[in-house]
Chain A
Amino acid sequence: MNLNQIFAAADISASGLQAERLHMEVVANNIANQQTTRTANGEPYRRQQVLLTDLAEDGGQPNALSGVRIEAITPDQSPFRSVYDPGHPHANEQGQVQLPNVDLPHEMVDLLVASRAYESNLKSLETFKQITKQTLSLLREA
């Protein structure tokens, strides 16, 4: 057994923790920008979403598995919301203001999903620690 594969399960769980933390950060950013009507490109804020892919090399062995990879943070191309607010500095000639395509209930559900997934990865990491400690206890004089 390769030396750096002994703790591979910890790396796998860590990749899950990292991905879910990023997921939560992206959701938090979406929530924070739900009223941002102007960004650098002149448009309202566009909702971001995280794209994940699994890291498995072929071979069908547990050692070929290495968790999850963050593929990209992609913008959500759904249309912006539009409200009538002629007094708003970013309103157009018709008095319409374009608002970000962020939907708060949607973000809250995403946040819940990410936080539960984070917890499950943490649980898996704790179990691995417990398993490893148990194996190491064999070295101790009984």
Chain B
Amino acid sequence: MLSFSAQTDSLARVAELATQRHQVLAHNLANVNTQGYQRLDANFADEVRRQLLTGGSLDTVQPQVAPTGEPTTRLDGNNVDVDREIGLVDQNALLHQTVTELLASRLGMLRRAAR
């Protein structure tokens, strides 16, 4: 079990990682009509899970930005699928919303205790 402040730090770090992933997904959407562009993704979920299971810190978790190498059916070689990308943007925003709500409740607890 993590301490209160370690939990707060972890939540803040996940929110930061989600913001960084949003940047990568936005980059994919910006390049949806770029000839030959290969979509990138920043996977951090596996690393976060591993650190949490082993009791490590999330500070060292860095998003791994890499081409995902998915196949394409398009003539220009671009493998960005708009609908899938929007789905991932929404999913990522929901993750961000979840951790932010948790952070808000934690900060609320602190405020109540301080009163």
Which A residues lie at the B interface, using CB under 8 A?
Answer: 8-9, 12-13, 15-16, 19-20, 23, 50-54, 56, 60-68, 113-114, 116-117, 120-121, 123-125, 127-128, 130-131, 134-135, 137-138, 141-142
Asked whether B66 lies within 8 Å of A134 as measured between CB atoms, the reply is no
- Highest count of chain B CB atoms <10 Å: which of A13, A20, A120: A120
Within 8 A of A (CB), among B12-32: 15, 18-27, 29-32
Q: Is B45 an interface residue (CB 8 A)?
A: no
**Which of B23, B37, B96, B111 is the one whose CB lies under 8 Å from A134?**
B96
Contact of B30 among A50, A67, A137, A138 (CB under 8 A): A67
Assuming the contacts A138-B104, A142-B107, asked whether A60 and B27 have C-beta atoms less than 8 A apart, the reply is no
Q: Which of B30, B63, B64, B100 contacts A16 (CB 8 A)?
A: B30
Asked, given contacts A60-B64, A131-B93, whether A13 binds B31 with beta carbons under 8 Å apart, the answer is no
Collect the chain A residues with CB atoms within 8 Å of residue B32's CB: 16, 117, 120
B85 within 8 A of A: yes
Docked-complex contact B107 and A52, CB < 8 angstroms: no
Interface status of B40 (Cβ within 8 A of chain A):
yes
Q: Is the CB of A123 within 8 A of B34?
A: no
**Residues of chain B contacted by A131 (CB below 8 angstroms):** 18-19, 22, 93, 96-97
- CA–CA, A23 to B97, complex, Å? 34
The answer to whether B86 and A123 have CB atoms under 8 Å apart is yes
Q: Would B103 and A60 count as touching, CB distance under 8 A?
A: no
Contact between A9 and B15, CB atoms less than 8 A apart = no
Q: Interface size (B, Cβ < 8 Å)?
A: 40
| A70→B46 CA distance, assembly (Å) | 36
Residue among A15, A67, A124, A135 with the highest chain B CB neighbour number at 10 A: A124
Shortest beta-carbon distance from B104 to chain A in Å: 6
- Contact: A67 with B26, CB < 8 Å? yes
> Beyond A54-B27, A113-B33, A123-B86, is A65–B65 a contact (Cβ under 8 Å)?
yes
- In the docked arrangement, what's the CA distance between A23 and B35, Å? 13
- Is B58 interfacial (CB-CB < 8 Å)? no
| A113 cross-chain contacts in B, Cβ below 8 A | 33
Please name 4 further chain A to chain B contacts, defined as beta carbons within 8 Å, in addition to the given A15-B30, A19-B30, A51-B35, sorted by A numbering. Answer: A117-B82, A120-B32, A128-B26, A135-B15
